[in-house]
Structure 1
């Protein structure tokens, strides 16, 4: 058994990417590898079809997890290079259409604080109680294959029927008679979306991309990402050059690979930190997340547009201006030409800087409140909030998990990062009504306190970690703490309070923070 797999699986596509960049990925090579490594268990049905393997569609991360499971559970011996080749082939030929991943990309982007909600309570109880529901939603199979998967679960995890939400019902008949038919109907192997996507052709990625984004507890950013071809199938070199709004540089270089014609995965060295990119490429745009390979909580939301394509307005930074004031605003976009317009009641006093992808202006807002559409020439896109006062604040995320780590252990701590999202009351002057409108993320002061009486009695605030002035919670070290009751670890239950100051008034909101133990099981899709 090739135990070298175990660490690459935990690192997700980062390792697969670095391997794939070493050589071209050829379809013929992949077929040969499958015939050599897999047919002992998966019968060959045709030159490019095998039992089980050819009867499902998944994301690149989904296929990585599948191959890893074959290694861990069934002793498959396959090199890292071979695994990368097979994964690329299967993701390209048996992937998901862009529309089939919509609403579930948070799992691919490692947004671990996402609170999942599904229309079907049955799906939530049967499928989303042990792993994310997104892991299920990001695969398509015929009903017979869903039945195979159900049988695998009962065989591999025989205690599954005794879990909460299982032992109170006749679990197996519900799986066979309700869940399997439902999944076969909602997520079939064959779909119009997939057929149409195969006809559409791959998205073009070579060129310069204008990038706009936001990093919690850090702020807005803009950059230019240059993509050039490398030797290999869908392999690219990437150079990133930009900065955060506070002037901190954001520069780096790395490699990227495109799966399924649109699934962009990259590894970029930014300073001393390796960052991963998980983007979806569609119609000259990229959207997704860029995050630290060491701590997936340290990430930024990204939107980009290719500079050789359509004119686009991606963002205005900051996304708000107070009524009756002057401030500098930055419009980020691609192929920008013409005069900038900030909407009703907001005048452009002066253009301070102008290029094809960035326009900086001095703006002056009148007294009218509301959300304006920002335009440059005939191209519009981003929204600018004009507000007179902050009526309410939401801490984002409202529920977060941080994890202890380090302290001589093999797993690093995982931070929690918070933003303060300000809201205006709207025309009725009352917060919490339908006409409220979002102002945007604003600077805030941050404090933490015990969540409840038990947390106070356990002195969780003292031991669990520290909260910085900009909303970053850094958990304490892992392992038993002899200073705590029963020498327990540094887990804790806290409330995080964000306070936004607006003139002479201040508005605050709270979020719940769980500080818990390390996450040892880190599959490509949680």
Structure 2
């Protein structure tokens, strides 16, 4: 077949020809003319060229339909063959009367929710013990169950309204979740932390699984042997390239390297199994469905009683310590549901934040909440078994990059100190303003009621409230450097701040940051940095155990080129860094002002600099007064990369 297309420069204004299939003179091939701006020519290709048309070969419609059908059949065959292979591998274990069959028959968890059985039972068959295929042989975190429910709705067309989806998620997370001791090591996954995590238990498993997603997502599952095998089969069916696509270990799910014949360093014969088979063996042994941790927790689990007033002690990169309270109220109409009224203060700046929110607790200890209107914040907290402590992360941002590490402690009637507005006091300082944050503090404290240890005296009490005492302190020239407790009346907070004599060094946090360009099509990912002052301690040596962390200091921020190639110009295009340490990337997409029309991506150094005696009043108001004898510099690496173009099944993190 041939197609006639109008070429650039053809005469305009002529009527378009209809679709046709008239033969070309001198050619035995059938001819098909697409609509173009020139009338249909009646002779050879030269005349077509003269009219501004060009002839291109193209497959016939019948051939294209056949090709499409063939591709669909091959895809279906790949999925079915993967499942059949997995079933064949487990047939011996699941044969009647075999030990493997007894294991599967005994391990399944009955599904007693009528809603789950009604919505899921049409595809997942039930047995006499109310166990549903696939579902009853798996435990997972709320986030992993949520991904499964979304996949069922989007790919398998399960009809669920939001209320039913939430109820199913709650049931599965409560009855087939993880125990606290199983979840604790991977809490960072639900908290959406940006960190480096290396799974040390088995390198082959880590290489196979963490090439596409975090290893913590795998560790958030518990399955039977057959279920792990079916999960691998599903991956191979949905993503056929994983069999041979090189991953972290240089191989895919199947072995692509030559068979090894020489024994290893330990003298053992080489293990020539496929990487997926090695991973399956490890996952089956390490993450089984039935564990003592889950047996203990599922028997002891109950709805937590969290209503009351809680202290907030937190820390945010670039802002420092935050202190406040949250009032939690139980929802009488919905078990494990709560409302929150939160108020906290950024200690360094005095900025106050208030917001209300809602939360739900899964599996008796996994708090998932959200609050705020214009800028919603997600809340992921781990409720300790005593119901007196919670810890985790609150976060916001297009990529969950802005967050606060928080710890919540249940408040009673006794006084409690949360912390101070400063993290360090310099020797030879006078009338230094300090605020003490807490709860149930004395309403009319006296100077002698407040203490900071030897060499630090309270000059006067400026104001006092039950949650905050403002005062001024003097630090003697000979005050010993080191950590100091802060006391008010009959309560004290150990190591609330430090006394120092000079700033010996700086440290930029995080040491390696990442931002994503955006703003045109995709959102931007910001990156916040902070500079922390360091005192070398009593031994005068840096990098030793007695070094003092002075907290955030005010510095001069700048960007410098991270040379990766000749003529590198990333620093001119990647974005801007303000004097609070917040990096904002440039727009996404090609930049015509850049050589090669490249995107605004690249590597740069983020540099913090503190001049001798610099900082002035700003430093004194928001951090330790400057005390560097010479110019002090520190830097961190920043990678500015592309947006996340496709985010599959993003978790909601709460209600």
TM-score (norm 1): 0.84
Structure 1 unmatched runs, 5+? 1-28
Q: Which has the higher contact order (CA 8 A, sep 6+)?
A: 1
Q: What CA RMSD, in Å, does the superposition of the two structures yield over aligned residues?
A: 3.1
Q: Deviations over 1:277-313 (max 9, x none)?
A: 1122223222222222545222222222222388755
Q: Quick one: distance in 2 between partners of 1:57 and 1:486?
A: 50
Q: Displacement of 1:342 after TM fit?
A: 4.0
Which residue number in structure 2 is paired with residue 72 of structure 1? Answer: 154
- 1:369 matched to 2:469? The reply is no
Q: Displacement of 1:476 after TM fit?
A: 1.0
Which residue number in structure 2 is paired with residue 162 of structure 1? Answer: 245
Go from structure 1 to structure 2 and tell me whether the alpha carbon gap of 1:486 and 1:368 turns closer, same or farther (over 3 Å shift): same
Which residue number in structure 2 is paired with residue 196 of structure 1? Answer: 296
Which residue number in structure 2 is paired with residue 389 of structure 1? Answer: 502
Q: Quick one: distance in 1 between partners of 2:305 and 2:423?
A: 30
Structure 2 unmatched runs, 5+? 1-110, 256-272, 612-625
Q: Displacement of 1:405 after TM fit?
A: 1.4
Q: Quick one: distance in 2 between partners of 1:73 and 1:330?
A: 56
- 1:498 matched to 2:608? The reply is yes
Q: Displacement of 1:176 after TM fit?
A: 5.1
Structure 1 SS opposite 2:590? coil
Q: Deviations over 1:302-337 (max 9, x none)?
A: 222222388755444333223443534444445567
Which residue number in structure 1 is paired with residue 311 of structure 2? Answer: 210
Q: Displacement of 1:346 after TM fit?
A: 4.6
Structure 2 SS opposite 1:302? strand
Which residue number in structure 2 is paired with residue 291 of structure 1? Answer: 395
Q: 2:584 aligns with which of 455, 471, 474?
A: 474
Matches within 5 A, 1:506-521: 506-521=631-646
Q: Deviations over 1:470-495 (max 9, x none)?
A: 01111111122222222222112111
Structure 1 SS opposite 2:359? strand
Q: 1:441 aligns with which of 548, 552, 571?
A: 552
Q: Quick one: distance in 1 between partners of 2:425 and 2:646?
A: 45
Q: Deviations over 1:11-37 (max 9, x none)?
A: xxxxxxxxxxxxxxxxxx992332122
Q: Quick one: distance in 1 between partners of 2:457 and 2:288?
A: 53
Tell me if the contact between 2:301 and 2:363 (Cα under 8 Å) persists in the aligned partners.
Answer: no
Q: 1:304 aligns with which of 408, 416, 433?
A: 408
Q: Quick one: distance in 1 between partners of 2:585 and 2:559?
A: 13
Q: Displacement of 1:519 after TM fit?
A: 1.0
Go from structure 1 to structure 2 and tell me whether the alpha carbon gap of 1:406 and 1:117 turns closer, same or farther (over 3 Å shift): same
Go from structure 1 to structure 2 and tell me whether the alpha carbon gap of 1:310 and 1:50 turns closer, same or farther (over 3 Å shift): farther
Tell me if the contact between 1:392 and 1:423 (Cα under 8 Å) persists in the aligned partners.
Answer: yes
Q: Displacement of 1:429 after TM fit?
A: 0.9
- 1:100 matched to 2:182? The reply is yes
Q: Displacement of 1:458 after TM fit?
A: 4.5
Q: Displacement of 1:171 after TM fit?
A: 4.4
Which residue number in structure 2 is paired with residue 11 of structure 1? Answer: none
Structure 2 SS opposite 1:222? strand
Go from structure 1 to structure 2 and tell me whether the alpha carbon gap of 1:34 and 1:292 turns closer, same or farther (over 3 Å shift): same
Tell me if the contact between 1:97 and 1:194 (Cα under 8 Å) persists in the aligned partners.
Answer: yes
Tell me if the contact between 2:557 and 2:578 (Cα under 8 Å) persists in the aligned partners.
Answer: yes
Which residue number in structure 1 is paired with residue 29 of structure 2? Answer: none
Q: Quick one: distance in 1 between partners of 2:590 and 2:112?
A: 47
Go from structure 1 to structure 2 and tell me whether the alpha carbon gap of 1:440 and 1:170 turns closer, same or farther (over 3 Å shift): same
Tell me if the contact between 2:367 and 2:383 (Cα under 8 Å) persists in the aligned partners.
Answer: yes
Tell me if the contact between 1:264 and 1:280 (Cα under 8 Å) persists in the aligned partners.
Answer: yes
Go from structure 1 to structure 2 and tell me whether the alpha carbon gap of 1:125 and 1:361 turns closer, same or farther (over 3 Å shift): farther
Tell me if the contact between 1:467 and 1:473 (Cα under 8 Å) persists in the aligned partners.
Answer: yes
Q: Quick one: distance in 1 between partners of 2:450 and 2:383?
A: 27
Q: Displacement of 1:106 after TM fit?
A: 2.1
Tell me if the contact between 1:305 and 1:333 (Cα under 8 Å) persists in the aligned partners.
Answer: no
Go from structure 1 to structure 2 and tell me whether the alpha carbon gap of 1:35 and 1:418 turns closer, same or farther (over 3 Å shift): same
Q: Displacement of 1:124 after TM fit?
A: 3.2
Go from structure 1 to structure 2 and tell me whether the alpha carbon gap of 1:477 and 1:379 turns closer, same or farther (over 3 Å shift): same
Which residue number in structure 2 is paired with residue 62 of structure 1? Answer: 144
Go from structure 1 to structure 2 and tell me whether the alpha carbon gap of 1:480 and 1:195 turns closer, same or farther (over 3 Å shift): same
- 1:403 matched to 2:516? The reply is yes
- 1:251 matched to 2:354? The reply is yes
Which residue number in structure 1 is paired with residue 285 of structure 2? Answer: 185
Structure 2 SS opposite 1:36? helix
Q: Displacement of 1:107 after TM fit?
A: 2.0
Which residue number in structure 2 is paired with residue 127 of structure 1? Answer: 209
Tell me if the contact between 2:253 and 2:275 (Cα under 8 Å) persists in the aligned partners.
Answer: no
**Count of aligned residue pairs for this structure pair:** 494
Go from structure 1 to structure 2 and tell me whether the alpha carbon gap of 1:392 and 1:275 turns closer, same or farther (over 3 Å shift): same
- 1:428 matched to 2:539? The reply is yes
